[in-house]
Amino acid sequence: MKIYVPRDAAALGVGADQTAEGLVAEARRRGIAVELIRNGSRGLLWLEPLVEVDVGGTRMAYGPVQSEDVAGLFDADFTSGKPHALSHGVTAEIPYLKRQERLTFARVGITDPRSLEDYKEHGGYRGLAAALAQKPADIIADVTASGLRGRGGAAFPAGIKWKTVLGAPGTQKYIVCNADEGDSGTFSDRMLMEGDPFVLIEGMTIAGLATGATQGYIYLRWEYPQAKLALEAAIAAAAAARYLGQNIQGSGKAFELEVRMGAGAYICGEETSLLESLEGKRGQVRFKPPLPALQGLWAKPTVINNVITFASVPIILDRGAKFYQHFGMGRSRGTLPMQLAGNIKQGGLVEIAFGMTMRELLYDFGGGSFSGRPLRAVQVGGPLGAYHPESQFDTPLDYEAFAAIKGMLGHGGIVAFDDSVDMAAQARYAMEFCAIESCGKCTPCRIGSTRGVEVIDRLIAGENAAKQEAILRDLCETLTYGSLCALGGLTPYPVISALNHFPQDFVKPVRASSAAG
């Protein structure tokens, strides 16, 4: 009897360990032999802890299961898949999961993240096998043809970056994985590293083979201790089975991998700051050029990609560029794991091909707001993403479509707000975030963000509002065009979108006084 209880941090946060302990103790008390598997999360976060039982090869879902529900589940004979108030039937048939197109997350929640055997039984390391049979340039040609663009935010084509590193002179090159995941409302990197760490390791190893890099680092957000444990266990298992090391699968090719914990600053997710931090220095943005692809870690040619970018590579090598390229729309190819957070009924991870509209995602998957009130705004793409009003909910999830409405998909995070949100406060928060997180290297961001907060305060207070608004818009233009990196450069997105789409929220004192009058 196999029972699955996630070890994912989101599940642990709502009592998954206690549920697992309760299940094992209750089974023992009743003389039922069970094998407990600590899987990753399926991404249906409102149902965590989601317990699954294997009934004749079909997994049945129950959730959210707290330790006090365990005895009742046994009474209802849930180990035979019998109904119970917490039952959701066959897991794979739950509409939230069934409608997804899981390529990168194909194994997450299904396999035991610490078992290399399980990984291989579910198609793992087939991409590496294909890569080992190819020349570096051919691997890169596949990645390029797949249309894969970086999933960390900037959506830069992965193949072009890899080609630059392959062509860069130098005997020592590096592969660096950006696992800092600092964006608000995002958790796909974490879920993947905790739920299927081998796929990231495999993707980075393929990147090493493709570019001639023999050393890799995963720069991991320090708030992710569960991911660290999962990655380190998987790296040890991969090394023991010669999927890492000096002679990968007898090929004579080398690739070593280490996890390094981040310094805990949002700017350390910016690639050049990350490299500074990885070198043991304060995380501060570097001037570009030189590009990290030519002079990156310790001034050596370096591929730096997001977790999801690397994790998408094995399936491309295994199933072919055409297979992956077939998903998506326009220049946005493949799938994007969207993350639904904030005031949303069914928060979680939804991996789907580009092209679905935001409305479908928010209502068909998310089920509308958690509060039951109308959704008024969503912020897409992290703290530097724009706030979108309801009139833009029909925008397809596509990099170019979002750019056209002065927004960005970024790392795929969506934070929802209902009609009680104060958008002027959100705009102020965005500017304050920039002031707090600024690395201080360039003037527009370092000083402009602090002045920006003051201007927004005066605007909200109604002190010569028209003038303050003009100053704010002018300041945002300076930030856009004068900042060294995208922290200062994109902060105007949330600020100006709030101002443009929700101007009424910026005139509260006027409203209050006219109401009083």
Ligand X SMILES: Cc1cc2nc3c(=O)[nH]c(=O)nc-3n(C[C@H](O)[C@H](O)[C@H](O)COP(=O)(O)O)c2cc1C
Q: Quote the least distance from Cβ 234 to ligand X, whole Å.
A: 20
Give yes or no for residue 43 binding ligand SF4 (CB under 6 A).
no
- Among positions 40, 127, 208, 269, the unique one binding ligand X when judged by CB under 6 A: 269
Give yes or no for residue 180 binding ligand X (CB under 6 A).
yes
Binders of ligand SF4 in range 431-460 (CB under 6 A):
438-442, 445-446
* Helix residue spans in 347-446 (DSSP H): 358-359, 399-404, 423-437, 443-446
Q: Quote the least distance from Cβ 496 to ligand SF4, whole Å.
A: 17
Give yes or no for residue 210 binding ligand SF4 (CB under 6 A).
no
Q: Quote the least distance from Cβ 268 to ligand SF4, whole Å.
A: 11
Q: Quote the least distance from Cβ 486 to ligand SF4, whole Å.
A: 7
Give yes or no for residue 151 binding ligand X (CB under 6 A).
yes
Phi-psi region of 116 (alpha: psi -120 to 50; beta: other; left: phi over 0): alpha
Give the separation between CA 52 and CA 59, rounded to whole angstroms: 6
Answer whether 450's CB lies under 8 Å from 468's CB: no
Give the separation between CA 234 and CA 265, rounded to whole angstroms: 26
- Nearest Cα residue to 419 out of 379, 346, 369, 383: 369
Give the separation between CA 191 and CA 470, rounded to whole angstroms: 43
Answer whether 139's CB lies under 8 Å from 207's CB: no
Give yes or no for residue 488 binding ligand SF4 (CB under 6 A).
yes
User: Which residues are registered as beta bridge partners of 348?
Assistant: 44, 340
Q: Quote the least distance from Cβ 412 to ligand X, whole Å.
A: 11
Strand order from edge to edge, sheet including 87-90: 35-37, 2-4, 51-55, 58-62, 87-90
Which one of the spans 19-27, 42-50, 132-140, 147-155 is the region binding ligand X (CB under 6 A)? 147-155
User: Which residues are registered as beta bridge partners of 51?
Assistant: 62
Q: Quote the least distance from Cβ 382 to ligand X, whole Å.
A: 8
Residue 482's SS3 state is helix
Give yes or no for residue 106 binding ligand SF4 (CB under 6 A).
no
For residue 300, the partner it binds in ligand X, ligand SF4, none, with Cβ less than 5 to 8 A by kind, is none
Which one of the spans 124-132, 178-186, 230-238, 449-457 is the region binding ligand X (CB under 6 A)? 178-186
Which residues form the interface with ligand SF4 (CB under 6 A)? 267, 285, 438-442, 445-446, 483-485, 487-488
Positions in the binding site for ligand X (CB under 6 A): 150-154, 156, 178, 180-182, 266-267, 269-271, 304-306, 309, 485-487
